[in-house]
Amino acid sequence: MNDIGEFTLMVALATSLYGAVAYVMSARGNRIDLYLSADKIPLITWACVMISSIALWKALFANDFSLQYVYAYSNIELDYFYKFSSFWGGQKGSLLFWTLLLSTYTLVVHFQNRKKSLIVVPYAMAIMLGITVFFLVLLNFSTNPFERIPLPPEDGRGLNPMLQNYWMVIHPPTLYLGYVGFTVPFAFAMAGLITKNLDDGWIRLTRKWTIVSWFFLCMGNLFGASWAYVELGWGGYWAWDPVENAAFMPLIVSTAYLHSVMIQEKKDMMKVWNMSLVLLTFVMTIFGTFITRSGLIQSVHTFDEATLGYYFLGFLFFIIAVCSVMIVWRLPLLKSKNELDSFLSREASFLFNNLLLLGIGFATFWGTIFPIISEAVRGVKITVGPPFYNQVNVPIGLALLALIGIGPVIAWRRATWSNLKKNFQKPVAVALFGGAALYPVLPLSNRSEIYTYIAFILCIFVMSTILLEFFKGTIARRDSHEATTVAALGSLIWHNKRRYGGYIVHIGVVMIYAGIAASQSYGTHIEKRVKTGDTIEINDYMLRYEKLAAVQATSVKTRIIAQLAVEKDGRRIWTARPEKEFYKGQKQPVSEVDVRSTLASDLYVILADFSEDDSATIKVYYNPMVSWLWMGGWVIALGTIVCAWPDRLEQRRRLERLKRQEIVFSPAQE
């Protein structure tokens, strides 16, 4: 099976290369024979990559340690659940997984568009297959997952204990679905540039892809934060690590694109800007991959064998050069009739939203690469850690939060003062009232607490504007359709999916802001060495240390479990069981924290250390409102589903538009 896997990787490379060339030549020469010959290529490539993937999975499940990859990332004792996820646990497997997703996306795009006689389609297919070729070259000639060990060992080294967590099965695929997904809008944007089809056709063709990729990237970031929270055992969820930044930057740039693209759809403006943003998003995904796989920037997330830096750096420069040349070349065609009725308009607010989003993206990029710049300029290596990002990004983030409230309510084209007053009077009043009510309750002794106070006021303001929008729309629909309030609300959302779906996403974002603000400022922690019967007090909770137990979970894993009774108001409400897990062959034990999560706060308990006399060092964090982050994520998911839900009216409009469009690629008619 390993030989088959290796062989199909070769076949996939050959077919995708042929497909890329054939698609371009068929479009350029309007050749039906080449077009038809390329028609099955996406399916063949996908099938080959899938067979290779199945071969690797089979080797992992069958403990085939003749493969270097299986030896390095699995062992006999490893749970099947983690054997499955070991597939993307190392560099080689993760590259194969990336290629599998890319070829799957290519296949879906092919089936979606094969009957549309649009000139952009063969070029987009060629670009997607071209990118697939790059990954397949790496897999075949640089990081072959089917590399053999001449004398196979009896057991493998096993998966890094940190990766033996259920989030390992969820987080990387989600993030990769987002990363790889942005290849589709990129391919169509480039195809638009090549073929001079620079109206909003490519945007409409890829709108759903953009939303879905954005959603996966967003959830991938949140799942990563959730994983860090439960696995790394330091009480936090985001450390501004270079690899975390690498996943965050494309999310930020694509968010800017999702907003500014609305201006192009509504007013046919900002073509250059939108084109640049979608290309930049893809560049950022490759930059992220470069960071993870180059070893250039130190990170806990980088792969053990981070040796692909030069390949990705070359690919990155190639893409940047091609994108820049194409944009400059097509600049005359990208020029749009940029006119604005007023500074006070939704268009202007979206542009400022773009400025702030890109500001955050740039600050994060700058912080990530600054150690390299410093070393190059001064010869001194420095660290850029969380204090930098918090100090720089928090004020920008707060300004962005304010714009989340202002943007959707301000009118397109031109808002008048009376219009603004009408829309903002109540939300501002509610926010000020909320601020006044919170003032005596919240501590304001340091910068972080003041920021949090401002964040809360802005959260109230944004929530008020959004809820007021829902309220006004529902009442208007209820009165005009004589429906019940619930039916009117449902109908309002159903008939304006993009708009109200977007509002729901914003509600999720506000929840995340509130969760971050509260947990960063009002969290407390305590560390105490305890013996049986000793207590630890934190906020309203009292933790009584009961016992320590050792459990031999498997032949390679020993669990040391501490048990603490958690009491509140004299009543036992929970039993905390934080652990330390010792893996054979691993120097450092892994902490498994125990968390009691409520809407108001998390009680986060860590077994920091223990002794043979059963005494233990227990660390307890009181983290307010962390659950709001995860809930915000699910609200964003709901909003994205509403936004991306098929809209018959929109589909009808699109069909009519397609009918009106000149058919520029028709090899079948030759």
Q: Give the C-alpha separation, 343 to 410, whole Å.
A: 11
Residue 216: exposure state from Cβ atoms within 10 A (0-12, 13-18, ≥19): buried
Residue with the two structure tokens 């053990």: 304
Which whole-number Å values give the CA distances from 461 to 40, 346, 360, 430, 509, in the listed order? 54, 18, 22, 7, 13
Q: Which C-beta is closer to other proteins: that of 386 or that of 490? A: 386
Q: Which C-beta is closer to other proteins: that of 183 or that of 354? A: 354
Instruction: Give 431's contacts (C-beta < 8 A, 6+ positions apart).
Output: 457, 458, 460, 461, 464
CB of 145 to other proteins, least distance (A): 23
Contact (CB, 8 A) for 188 and 120: yes
Helical ranges in 30-90 per DSSP H: 32-38, 41-61, 68-73, 80-86
CB of 230 to other proteins, least distance (A): 13
Q: Which residues pair with 119 in a beta bridge?
A: none
Q: Which two tokens stand for residue 326?
A: 């194409």
Q: Are strands 541-552 and 557-568 parallel, antiparallel or unpaired?
A: antiparallel
Instruction: Give 91's contacts (C-beta < 8 A, 6+ positions apart).
Output: 143, 293, 303, 304, 305, 306, 307, 308
Q: Which C-beta is closer to other proteins: that of 266 or that of 577? A: 266
- 468 SS3 class: helix
Q: Which two tokens stand for residue 446?
A: 């340091």
CB of 541 to other proteins, least distance (A): 20
Q: Which C-beta is closer to other proteins: that of 355 or that of 538? A: 355
Q: Which long-range contacts (CB under 8 A, 24 or more apart) does 562-570 make?
A: 562/607, 562/610, 562/616, 562/618, 564/536, 564/605, 564/618, 566/541, 566/542, 566/596, 566/603, 567/541, 567/542, 567/543, 568/540, 568/541, 568/542, 569/540
Q: Which C-beta is closer to other proteins: that of 6 or that of 347? A: 347
CB of 565 to other proteins, least distance (A): 24
CB of 97 to other proteins, least distance (A): 23
Q: Residue 411 gets which letter from DSSP?
A: P
CB of 491 to other proteins, least distance (A): 17
Contact (CB, 8 A) for 128 and 183: yes
CB of 273 to other proteins, least distance (A): 10
Q: Which C-beta is closer to other proteins: that of 9 or that of 351? A: 351
DSSP 291-316: HHHH-SS--TTS-TT---HHHHHHHH
CB of 267 to other proteins, least distance (A): 10
Q: Which C-beta is closer to other proteins: that of 468 or that of 542? A: 468
Q: Give the C-alpha separation, 144 to 670, whole Å.
A: 43
Of 231, 143, 127, whose CA–CA distance to 187 is shortest?
A: 127
Q: Which C-beta is closer to other proteins: that of 7 or that of 234? A: 234
Q: Give the C-alpha separation, 355 to 607, whole Å.
A: 44
CB of 408 to other proteins, least distance (A): 10
Q: Give the C-alpha separation, 637 to 643, whole Å.
A: 10
Q: Which C-beta is closer to other proteins: that of 183 or that of 294? A: 294
Q: Give the C-alpha separation, 574 to 543, whole Å.
A: 9
Q: Which C-beta is closer to other proteins: that of 608 or that of 637? A: 608
CB of 517 to other proteins, least distance (A): 14
Q: Which C-beta is closer to other proteins: that of 535 or that of 588? A: 588
CB of 47 to other proteins, least distance (A): 38
Q: Which C-beta is closer to other proteins: that of 382 or that of 668? A: 382
Q: Which C-beta is closer to other proteins: that of 469 or that of 594? A: 469
CB of 387 to other proteins, least distance (A): 4
CB of 561 to other proteins, least distance (A): 17
Q: Which C-beta is closer to other proteins: that of 232 or that of 313? A: 232
Which phi and psi angles does 582 have, rounded to 5°?
A: -110, 125
Q: Which C-beta is closer to other proteins: that of 416 or that of 535? A: 416
Of 113, 101, 299, 323, whose CA–CA distance to 216 is shortest?
A: 101
- The phi-psi region of residue 63 (left if phi > 0; otherwise alpha if psi is between -120 and 50; otherwise beta) is left
Instruction: Give 11's contacts (C-beta < 8 A, 6+ positions apart).
Output: 44, 48
CB of 249 to other proteins, least distance (A): 13
Q: Which two tokens stand for residue 235?
A: 């009480």
Q: Which C-beta is closer to other proteins: that of 15 or that of 521? A: 521
For 219-247, b/e burial (b = at least 16 CB within 10 A) is bbbbbbbbbbbbbbbbbbbbbbbbbbbbb
- 615 SS3 class: coil
CB of 351 to other proteins, least distance (A): 6
Which whole-number Å values give the CA distances from 425 to 75, 399, 428, in the listed order? 63, 19, 5
CB of 477 to other proteins, least distance (A): 12
